[in-house]
């Protein structure tokens, strides 16, 4: 065997899982794809977000909160294992409301989440309270208030990925870049993973290859139903600190730039459009009119990895024990939980019952019935 665990995919999900496997003392090899593969981390908004997540899926809501609580320690561990900068903070987060209807809808989401047994960590704040929270801002006249969650934070996703890539080899792991996987072949005692740079063998294989995951798992009967969605983001020039809290669709990074996002488009390419830039900019200026004088320096798009019900998939093959898949669109938020909870479970060879709500079996209506 070439490793205890082979992980296919070196994005934030795969890298966090590899980091978690390495922490257990097992050997891990991570196989990255080609340079032109879609990289969700490169287009990620960078929120470590709790509010609104899993409002109709209690297990997802709980996992999100667990990961948020694990993030400070996760960040400190990475800082000790990697000299690279990792800008992370957890001041709480805001979801701005630009009408009474938006305010009421957001309040309903919070109430529904709390009614499922979640802690009351999210509260509605009216405009007067919001102005006290944001003394450096003059809010637009359409802002009626916001939802505030004390558990929310934000991080630079590129720094996160770079820190994970630095930490994994320092813990005895190996990352093989530009090594796309062609297929997975079950063999006695494990699996052969056939890739561009040769064949590797391990008793455990975790596929975390984003939108390419089903291509590798479905030939072995492991279904991972996914769809894609394009999101576009704008970035301004560096400004003096004005936003002390990250917001859904509006946050100020540690270097002073303002990130504005993100669209939700049923489009299969990563091109950018003027119409989306206009849509994003207009909403941002309704919240903070002063942004109308800020220069935009960049616009980009990326593809979200979305399970059909938007809840993460942690799948385990019943036909080929040792084969797993992980897919979600909350790779940054869940990175700490992936390292501390999901990775050790998969590396041990079996997902415990607490992760049953995330099984791919939930999509098989006949089986569930």
Tell whether the model's pLDDT for residue 120 goes beyond 80. Answer: no
Tell whether the model's pLDDT for residue 309 goes beyond 90. Answer: yes
Task: Name the band, by pLDDT with cuts 50, 70 and 90, for residue 43.
Answer: confident
Strands 323-327 and 313-316: antiparallel
What is the percent of the chain where pLDDT is above 90?
Answer: 88
Task: Name the band, by pLDDT with cuts 50, 70 and 90, for residue 367.
Answer: very low
Residue-wise pLDDT for 140-198, tens only, equals: 999 999 999 999 999 999 999 999 999 999 999 999 999 999 999 999 999 999 999 99
- Mean model confidence pLDDT for the chain: 94
In this predicted structure, what is the pLDDT of residue 368?
A: 38
In this predicted structure, what is the pLDDT of residue 270?
A: 87
Q: How many CA atoms lie within 13 A of 218 on its CB side?
A: 9
Token pair of 98 as six digits: 């630009």
Tell whether the model's pLDDT for residue 77 goes beyond 60. Answer: yes
What is the percent of the chain where pLDDT is above 70?
Answer: 97
Residue-wise pLDDT for 197-241, tens only, equals: 999 999 999 999 999 999 999 999 999 999 999 999 999 999 999
In this predicted structure, what is the pLDDT of residue 337?
A: 98
Nearest CA to 30 out of 15, 41, 45, 20 is that of 15
What are phi and psi for residue 87, nearest 5 degrees? -75, 110
- Helix segments in 184-313, DSSP class H: 213-217, 274-287
Contact 201, 1 (CB under 8 A): yes
DSSP one-letter code for 265: B
Nearest CA to 218 out of 1, 21, 209 is that of 209
In this predicted structure, what is the pLDDT of residue 369?
A: 36
Nearest CA to 43 out of 212, 233, 185 is that of 233
252 SS3 class: strand
DSSP one-letter code for 199: E
Task: Name the band, by pLDDT with cuts 50, 70 and 90, for residue 105.
Answer: very high
Contact 158, 235 (CB under 8 A): no
Q: Is pTM, for the whole model, over 0.85?
A: yes
Task: Name the band, by pLDDT with cuts 50, 70 and 90, for residue 126.
Answer: very high
Mean pLDDT of 85-114: 94
DSSP one-letter code for 316: E
Mean pLDDT of 308-317: 96
d(CA 17, CA 326): 9
Strands 5-8 and 28-31: parallel
Tell whether the model's pLDDT for residue 366 goes beyond 60. Answer: no
d(CA 169, CA 103): 47
Which domains, ranges and CATH numbers included, belong to the chain?
5-79+157-225+308-368 (3.50.50.60), 93-150 (no CATH), 227-307 (3.30.9.10)
d(CA 92, CA 206): 33
Higher pLDDT: 262 or 336? It is 336
d(CA 94, CA 21): 34
Residue-wise pLDDT for 255-288, tens only, equals: 999 999 999 999 888 899 999 999 999 999 999 9
């Amino acid at each position: 065997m070439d490793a205890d665990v082979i992980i296919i995919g070196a994005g934030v999900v795969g890298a966090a899982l590899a980091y978690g496997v390495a922490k257990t003392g097992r050997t891990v090899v991570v196989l990255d794809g080609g340079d032109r593969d879609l990289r969700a981390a490169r287009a990620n908004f960078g929120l470590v977000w709790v509010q609104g997540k899993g409002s109709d899926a209690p297990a997802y809501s709980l996992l999100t909160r667990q990961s948020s609580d694990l993030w400070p320690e996760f960040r400190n561990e990475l800082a000790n294992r990697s000299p690279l900068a990792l800008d992370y903070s957890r001041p709480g987060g805001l979801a701005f409301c630009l009408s009474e209807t938006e305010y009421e809808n957001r309040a309903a989401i919070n109430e529904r989440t709390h009614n499922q047994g979640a802690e009351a960590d999210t509260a509605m704040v009216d405009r007067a309270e919001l102005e006290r929270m944001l003394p450096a801002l003059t809010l637009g006249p359409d802002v009626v208030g916001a939802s505030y969650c004390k558990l929310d934070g934000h991080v630079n996703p590129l720094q996160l990925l770079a820190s994970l890539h630095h930490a994994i080899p320092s813990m005895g792991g190996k990352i093989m870049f530009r090594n796309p996987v062609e297929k997975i072949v079950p063999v006695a005692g494990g699996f052969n993973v056939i890739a561009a740079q040769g064949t590797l063998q391990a008793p455990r294989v975790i596929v975390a290859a984003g939108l390419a995951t089903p291509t590798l798992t479905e030939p072995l009967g492991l279904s991972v139903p996914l769809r894609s969605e394009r999101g576009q983001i704008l970035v301004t020039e560096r400004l003096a600190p004005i936003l002390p809290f990250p917001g859904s669709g509006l946050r100020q990074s540690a270097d002073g730039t303002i990130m504005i996002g993100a669209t939700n488009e049923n489009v299969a390419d990563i091109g950018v459009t003027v119409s989306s830039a206009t849509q994003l900019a207009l909403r941002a200026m309704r919240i903070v009119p002063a942004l109308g004088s800020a220069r935009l320096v960049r616009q980009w798009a990326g593809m979200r990895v979305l399970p059909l019900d938007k809840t993460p998939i942690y799948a385990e093959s019943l036909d080929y024990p040792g084969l797993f898949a992980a897919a979600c669109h909350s790779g940054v938020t869940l990175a700490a939980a992936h390292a501390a909870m999901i990775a050790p479970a998969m590396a041990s060879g079996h997902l415990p019952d607490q992760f049953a709500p995330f099984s791919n079996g939930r999509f098989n209506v006949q089986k569930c019935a």
